[in-house]
Structure 1
């Protein structure tokens, strides 16, 4: 079908007619498109932004953590201070537990992470394997035993820890094991993590780095196994071992399936009696809550957790100078930096599992992390030593085991042995081609200091620089590493919520217009961004830009709380405590300066409000005085006209009596003039009133009626219209009921103006245009109390009409009496949003509005002991600071005013130039 046919078919109805109008057309919009858009954005973002800070009720630990957080300005401290404190506390805890266990003659059982009870109480538990909100069925260990029951001669280290010891188990934590391989290649780094142990009692203490500070974790010596216990194994397996080994069947079964490193379900050492790796993995899993929490991640982040370093993510295709990258970075591996590499970042973007099979990269596993162990340059060859944490599956290209590049000389030069142990050599050029991503972690020694500060910020839907910023004060020049990070969500997995955040920052120096540097953008890692550079002494500002994404399908912390408080209370307590302690970092605690600023703002706001009220009252009094002045002037003019009218009327009646002209009685006197003595009227005036009655209705236009009455008066020879001192004298006809004048309906606009005038508190005595009946006795001449109903807007033509109405004057002096002032939105055009009803604008929409709140922290590593960080929030008494767009923003060029240099030292606005060009 062609496009035209398809388009026509869309407009055919069931009867087959083309371009027929739908039977149920869409209703016409009740408001303009711009108002619809404004209304949408008004309801898009919540009016009550906030963050769930405490999952557990009355969490005293979180309160203590919040109380201990630095307030105001954070000062620098030794980078190793936090580690030293955590290591000391860990050693004390292990020693205390060992003493307690020896006193009661018990081995240590970790009640907070008891994997044996947790496994064998399934399906009621699995808190050590699975996080909140889901069950990770992939993890299926069969039994649990202590180290002394698994290994014949267990040793924590055998010839120290090395990368060749590492073998991955049934967990997707290759990223963590690659980090272990990387740090094991640098002397003493593993020993800094495993700080205390008592192997006899079965207690081990480890320290890890989290959110800018070190903390310790204590575990027992129980480990998961792949095989079930003898009395729980399958009957067929049991029968097989009994048939082969007889009475020794059970011992043979345990020797085969439950002894040595090969029996472990998760990570294991290559040596059958070495234990440091599975225990380290268990401690890392406990620190994060469970084993599923460490399934999948980034090697750089794991190295940060194990060393306290700072990781930068690099794409191979983004390297500008490969020579410089080799000389200044790769060759510094195991010295200033640690490196890891990975593959297949975009391998699945076309949903293809064949895009990066082993053959495509010659043995390099896709979506897998590797460790760079060494980098050498010998005899014109640049080679890297790489390790696969699986302990197998190696590179099959040039310089792989058994390739033609290897000679006896090269084997001795590089101290290499062939074997499928996961360790291989590869050329620098092949690394850049086969690996897509590098993660470089900078290490810090005792010469560095760290300064950090945390806060909480609202993240708008439109990504822009936040009003809250950090300031850094340096007292001496030197290298500096700036890190902007968010909370590590892995520690409270399941309660992360629906929002994810991408961080970015830029560094400005106070007093300069342009920024100095921007953070190095990470591609996959979202936990932190950083930059390193040399800075001079001074004060610098770190402006944050945070991008938020929302996955509405995910559970909120409140949802998890509701579903888990009864089904998994222990897991909820453990995860909730981790959540509360983490978010306590972001508690905004007012400093004395903040309190003074708020008090100052409140005082200024009060003064400003009082000035505004005084101004409004003054304007209202002035308006009332002006109106009263005009009312008095108009009353004076009307009194003069009435007096003149009565005088001429008396003279005319006197003249009529002298000539003895008989007067014709009229029938049906008006109810407003129904008195015993009826005035005789001029025949010409009566005829004029009848002529007006025969005309069409003037559609509520009072001015036309007045003009017609004046015209009739002139045609009848009435000489009562004359000018005196600028006033117009009008004739008042006496009308009978049979000579009833035209009734004029006030327009809806006039009615609304009257109502508005009353609502605004103006006087109820307003000038009437046309009324039926007399005014109340206490009403001033020429005025009528505003009618209580709409019927009062219909006026008849009584004898006081002509001098009652000033509508024919079109006077700017009197117009203010009849029309309310325009509102500011009417004068300025308005934006449409003000027209939204208050009850709709104030209420939250039916769907959850945007409510993204992020806890962020700034860490600064420097060699300046006096480095300080301060949080600068927008002053209440000041407006938000405008931050310019970045140089590579697509809207940078089109959003700024252009300037062109006409002469040296002289500039001219481009708008002026355009105007001059057009005029020319």
Structure 2
């Protein structure tokens, strides 16, 4: 038995022993060392251009529906497709009527089954007991989900919390407001502000049945009113007696007769037991129920944390809010007389601190990062005073005119009807107001004399900040006061699905036919939901150019990732928020106009015809190439045939020659035998090849008699008999020498084939591929050739190139479309993957939905007239495909058309000169002419050519 010694290690692997005792090598996959890539050399400009080419997505887009197959979003899109002027009260009246109908139906259902109403879409009790927290927490769009601070302990109905619940007790007032554990001071400040104007809060809650426990509210969202239905369940700060442990032990330890009832009265009774907002009166309920309805409309209580008072006032009144800054007020006298003094009449005001979000704590009683409401403004005895309200219901100003300050006298207490107390109400002077508060929210209220026309669209926002190619265009049939509002969708309604981009809005108003703009909006620092201007306009055609700035936050997850992360674990929450998202984005669905549809069909037709012609050209080129190679191979084979035929004839002639010598020798021998001459010397006749007659012209018996054994070399080559090929062997007459042709058409060798075998095909034909043209051969592009008379019969088999028919082309196109796409081959083993560019894998793709609302006053005789016609003008994406004119003629015609449009006031496309603002220093480089012409151009004293 022989021993098998282990072999040493090798680079390929280890040696092992198989079942038969043989030493074999283990199989190890071969790795190929990667070849280092040579860096691509680029000029600096090429590198920058390449970066920007990868930076922005080639196909911009945004998810418009989160819920699969959402047919409700399609129905909602039809309602927003047309811009029709309506009274500002119409939308409210419609929403209120729908809300009342909902409440009435629910009351009827509940009374039929003898059960109180329980809201299945916002059920606080099941949410708390099962721990889903859908009513408390929003969807998370960051990687590390933060822990929520909300920790209510129990849920009870209104009748179980309040001993004698009343929705209103002496009406809703600012003194009722007490903020709970939610950071919605901005909303409560807005409610305080609304309480100064009678019936504003009452308009929000339109229907209720306290016995059944159902309440209906309406809120203003994205330019229209919506309704929301809730039940009467509310969160409490303390757990139930049976579910508590420590509290129950404490109460039972005191040996009370009814510990549970005493516990309820102490911890779960009255407004003070509520976890979120509460009224000052122990039995008033309107505020916590309104807050709950507002939270449900936005998805949860977390969604309404943090905001601005002006936005809250907009949502509760349908007004339009402007953001003003104390440092930007030009005429403080005008601001006092024409604006602040009109508070609670035409305007509502709020104010806030910590505009930049860097302050904390308090300054003389004024809390940083906090919102207040302006209740009243008075000018008495030379003192300008403003009454403010802290929505906390406590915490007041400690400076001049504060409670207990030296400015107060008994006379002033009577004049201002004020009483001291830490209730959140305090007076402050106008000068101190401007010093202590940085931002003011001014909300314009609209009465029944106002109408509104609105329209939405969706835009792809580029990285570069400039006025967009898409813009709004409207006509005003009658001069008068106008409020123009550019807004984006309120993403507070679908928190977690807002995406990675934050958008800031700006616009510029132009009157068609004039180069200079009429007015432009002022970009707010904080509120980015909308911008607006209010002014008097003459009748005419107007254009609203849009400038939207997008900022990307990579720490936030894109919408598709949030959907993926929550589809399994938080289905109900994703459905609720996703439905709100879908209905909101349905407003901006782009409806194709008849002109755009016609242009699209024409472009598709041109594209299809272009592809058809290119495909046809390719087929014909392949046919020509194939025909050319066939003809080339055929000609070469014909030459070989001719050569082989000549060789066979030469061989035949040589054989005949040999036969002649033999016959001549036999004749000479015979004659010698008959007549011997021994005395004479023998003479040998040498026949040279030049003296040999041609075999075609002589008969076999006509040659001279020669001695076949004697050969005499010839000094001249034979002109009639071809010299035998020295490299070839003796072949039979039935075999011919054929050429072997390479894929490029070159002859690389020769082979022997029989006479009755067809011509040798080129490699391209044998593989079923289209032959390629020989680049070195410049003759016979179409592959047509003419041979001599002997080869004409053979060449007749090669047809000429035929034109492809339309039917054949259609069949080929159909087959090509139906062919399955082959998967791309895997990368070679061992080669590193090419490093993907970070911007190419995740490019810039900012898409937003914006709407324009135009408010205008009308008189009674104009209520049924369409004063404003609004439309969206988008660039035609198919215009670049048209090639009806050459460039010079097209440019000339465009210039002429532009001049006519300016003269007629019908300019539809914004001019490039409108792209830059007058205070943009880059505009200097775009001005033409001398200093005087440039000055006139800035002031719009001369038309722009």
Could you say what secondary structure the match of 2:242 adopts? Answer: helix
**1:44 aligned partner:** 55
Deviations 1:188-212 (A, max 9, x none): 0011100000001000000001011
Could you say what secondary structure the match of 2:465 adopts? Answer: coil
**1:263 aligned partner:** 273
Which consecutive unaligned segments of at least 5 residues does structure 1 have? Answer: 1-24, 349-354, 621-674, 679-757, 768-775, 780-838, 908-920
Could you say what secondary structure the match of 1:891 adopts? Answer: helix
Cα distance in 1 between the residues matched to 2:470 and 2:240: 58
Which consecutive unaligned segments of at least 5 residues does structure 2 have? Answer: 1-35, 622-715, 720-770, 789-832, 859-865, 881-908, 939-945
Cα distance in 2 between the residues matched to 1:84 and 1:141: 36
Q: Which one is further off, 883-892 or 255-264?
A: 883-892
Q: For residues 18-417 of structure 1, what are the structure 2 equivalents within 5 Å? A: 30-71=41-82, 74-122=83-131, 125-133=132-140, 134=145, 136-235=147-246, 237-244=247-254, 246-346=256-356, 348=358, 357-358=361-362, 361-417=363-419
| 1:546 positional shift | 0.9
Does 2:852 align with 1:858? Answer: yes
Alignment length (residue pairs): 665
Deviations 1:248-283 (A, max 9, x none): 222111111110000000000000000000000000
901 and 778 in structure 1: CA distance in 2 versus 1, 3 angstrom threshold: farther
Q: Which one is further off, 248-257 or 173-182?
A: 248-257
Cα distance in 2 between the residues matched to 1:288 and 1:33: 50
Cα distance in 1 between the residues matched to 2:931 and 2:249: 93
| 1:893 positional shift | 1.7
Q: Any conservation in 2 of the 1:168–1:391 contact (CA below 8 Å)? A: yes
**1:571 aligned partner:** 573
Q: Larger Rg: 1 or 2?
A: 2
**TM-score normalised per structure 1:** 0.68
| 1:500 positional shift | 1.2
Q: For residues 907-918 of structure 1, what are the structure 2 equivalents within 5 Å? A: none
Does 2:884 align with 1:874? Answer: no
Cα distance in 1 between the residues matched to 2:154 and 2:933: 84
Q: Any conservation in 1 of the 2:177–2:280 contact (CA below 8 Å)? A: yes
Could you say what secondary structure the match of 2:53 adopts? Answer: helix
Q: Any conservation in 1 of the 2:360–2:369 contact (CA below 8 Å)? A: no
Deviations 1:137-195 (A, max 9, x none): 21110100000000000000000000010000001000110011111111000111000
| 1:556 positional shift | 1.4
Q: Any conservation in 2 of the 1:304–1:311 contact (CA below 8 Å)? A: yes
| 1:66 positional shift | 1.2
| 1:840 positional shift | 11
Q: Match for 1:894 among 900, 912, 925?
A: 925
Could you say what secondary structure the match of 1:112 adopts? Answer: coil
Q: Any conservation in 1 of the 2:927–2:934 contact (CA below 8 Å)? A: no
Cα distance in 1 between the residues matched to 2:448 and 2:490: 25
Does 2:778 align with 1:765? Answer: yes
182 and 763 in structure 1: CA distance in 2 versus 1, 3 angstrom threshold: farther
Cα distance in 1 between the residues matched to 2:148 and 2:46: 51
841 and 66 in structure 1: CA distance in 2 versus 1, 3 angstrom threshold: farther
375 and 761 in structure 1: CA distance in 2 versus 1, 3 angstrom threshold: farther
Could you say what secondary structure the match of 1:232 adopts? Answer: coil
**TM-score normalised per structure 2:** 0.67
Does 2:540 align with 1:544? Answer: no
378 and 903 in structure 1: CA distance in 2 versus 1, 3 angstrom threshold: closer
CA RMSD of aligned residues (A): 3.2
Deviations 1:465-523 (A, max 9, x none): 11111111110000111111111101110111111111111011111111111012211
600 and 531 in structure 1: CA distance in 2 versus 1, 3 angstrom threshold: farther
Could you say what secondary structure the match of 1:765 adopts? Answer: coil
| 1:766 positional shift | 7.6
| 1:231 positional shift | 1.4
Q: Any conservation in 2 of the 1:174–1:369 contact (CA below 8 Å)? A: yes
Cα distance in 2 between the residues matched to 1:606 and 1:546: 36
Q: Any conservation in 1 of the 2:507–2:546 contact (CA below 8 Å)? A: yes
Q: Match for 1:436 among 410, 435, 438?
A: 438
| 1:245 positional shift | 5.3
| 1:844 positional shift | 9.8
Q: Which one is further off, 891-900 or 32-41?
A: 891-900
| 1:315 positional shift | 0.9
600 and 538 in structure 1: CA distance in 2 versus 1, 3 angstrom threshold: farther
**1:520 aligned partner:** 522
843 and 263 in structure 1: CA distance in 2 versus 1, 3 angstrom threshold: closer
Does 2:596 align with 1:583? Answer: no
Q: Any conservation in 1 of the 2:81–2:587 contact (CA below 8 Å)? A: no
Q: Any conservation in 1 of the 2:54–2:840 contact (CA below 8 Å)? A: no
Q: Any conservation in 2 of the 1:312–1:520 contact (CA below 8 Å)? A: no
Cα distance in 2 between the residues matched to 1:161 and 1:434: 29
